[in-house]
Structure 1
């Protein structure tokens, strides 16, 4: 009886051992599962209204941890925030950069009152003076000398391109320039017709720009032709003027006569 009780106990112990071994083997057969990696927070910078990107320092933050979080270097953080050391404080604002231009919201105000357009006054043209002369070019050199006076019975005409001035006049002999004052500035054309019996020695048409305040003088020359010179009265040489050679000869004879008289007087005294 005692032997049968021992056998039952051994049987129970062996079954428990087998069950335990089987359970351990099943556990060992299960595949190993790796622990999930630790999640690293990613900092997404958001610019403020003024365009600056700021970071608020948290507890246990260092410049190195902030640099790793934001993708900057420690030296860049120091340069942006004018830091001379690695010391930072909780709730301190650190500048990380600029996210864009400053967004300015326009404040609506009163509508501007349009300024009425005033009429622009038309500027008055300036005035100039023009003096003209048709002179007798005695030597035909096309240059007027003082003794070369004006020729009569000639014609002078001039006008401006605007059409506001148009003048025609006859020349008068023996006079100086014929002047026209207070003419409006602009481009003028002047032409001259010489009287019969004369040939022009200068150009008889001229264009000029008369400016404000100008005092312009124009000379037109003409020389009498051969027929006119032949018809002019000639003054005989003996009546108009005497030859200087005759005066020199007369003076020589007078001096010779005085010399002879003095010589004869000395001879008479010596006797």
Structure 2
């Protein structure tokens, strides 16, 4: 009877060690951040935004480069109306002014079509304190100051840098040429990333592209060893536990004979 109990205990202990090793070797990967294009104006010049799940007035305002008060005024939102936004609801975020038409006849001379020039756009970076670690900027989560941001094109012709502050507005780089850009963020000391810290963006003419980066205090997350690699240390620790369990199993079998 004692031998049987010792064998059962040995099997249970080995299974427990295998489970611990499996959990220890599971990696922690940063989540991709949200990426957003400014909506295209309608035929009448109105720029409309379609409300998505979990959207708030402040998140919609941040995405579209306007203030919450401007969003409220454009849509006549009063009091607690922002608490009752419906998924699929359309909100006005701006109106594109059209040039005034003239009836005066103007004589024009046809000339050869010039080579199209490249257009410009705007890249904005928003670094926020991701308290719950879900890689999404929420209304209750504050901006994170002290982050060093970099925007660089593939040829290093455009190389822009800046430092985030604690204002609600993202740091923006305006009137930069269209093309492919590498965006990177160095988060302040004492924080761990909850999103990737490097992002490649294709900027088109007229785009206002906002990219969110998140981080939270080091005490709130497990340490991340490398950008996308599981913890080597924890993996070795799991192997040690398995070896100890196997050794204990043979020892218990020897005692039971």
Fold similarity call, TM over 0.5: no
Q: Which has the higher contact order (CA 8 A, sep 6+)?
A: 2
Higher Cα Rg, which structure: 1
TM normalised by structure 2 equals: 0.40
